[in-house]
Amino acid sequence: MSSNKSRPNRQRSALEPQRRRGKDRVAALMEAAAGVIAERGFESATMAEIAARAGAQIGSLYRFFPNKEALADALIYRYGEIVREAFEKIEARASALSVHDLADALLNVLFELHGESQTMVALLEARSEWSVKRNEFRRAAVQYIARILTLRAPHLRPDTVEDVAVVLLHTMKTLKALTIQQGVAINTGAPAELREMTRLYLASKFGEK
């Protein structure tokens, strides 16, 4: 059927893996996508650059991801899983944590997605009308935070909890944005201030000093 006639294997190194496993390829593509999107934003990231950075061909990229949206969704999903795990860890010890530590733990969820969180932010910033997945992620994150808050402070009204969760999610995003902050001088003081603000707020909400 498919002959190799038109692509003779001259200079094909014996050791070069000719057919990377699909999984590796997908991983490489997603990593490349994350990098490009983080650098340029979702809109400006091009499928061609993503493929190139992954050492793949554009056709290969489209084999695994039928379009750009799907790629974004896959990334969101992957990060979503990581984030979910982080939330679950916090949830497990929620009731044991001091306000201070809980605030920090939450803030660190996004923060510790080191390289990738920039991608997350870029993805979440992109015009969202197009994608359902992005909103789902937001909603899920809010739910997780709300659940954790409820565990720690069961007396809070459900309505309030959700509002607080929304605020906290934004604060998490802000922390990330603060540390990325385009260009030069990385502001070391501001993140500390943001952490303090969050602690104060949580403490107040929990009715603790």
Partner DNA sequence: AATGAATGAGATTTCATTCAT
Partner DNA sequence: AATGAATGAAATCTCATTCAT
- Residues of this chain that bind DNA (CB under 7 A): 1-9, 15, 17-22, 25, 44-48, 56-60, 62-63, 66-69
Nearer to DNA by Cβ, of 59 and 207: the residue is 59
116 and 38 Cβ atoms separated by less than 8 Å: yes
The rounded radius of gyration (Å) of the Cα atoms in the chain is 21
**Residue 13's binding partner out of DNA, a copy of itself, none, with CB under 5 to 8 Å set by partner kind:** none
End-to-end CA distance of the chain: 75
Q: Which of 187, 191, 17, 10 is nearest to 104 (CA)?
A: 191
Residues that bind a copy of itself (CB under 8 A): 1-2, 4-7, 19-20, 40-41, 43-44, 46, 67-68, 125-130, 135, 159-160, 162-164, 166-167, 170-171, 174, 177-178, 182-183, 187, 189-190, 192-194, 196-198, 200-201, 204
**Residue 11's binding partner out of DNA, a copy of itself, none, with CB under 5 to 8 Å set by partner kind:** none
CB count in 10 Å sphere of residue 93: 14
Nearer to DNA by Cβ, of 91 and 125: the residue is 125
Q: Which of 51, 6, 15 is nearest to 33 (CA)?
A: 51
Q: How far is the CB of 3 from DNA (least distance, A)?
A: 4
Q: Which of 47, 50, 74 is nearest to 134 (CA)?
A: 74
**Residue 158's binding partner out of a copy of itself, DNA, none, with CB under 5 to 8 Å set by partner kind:** none
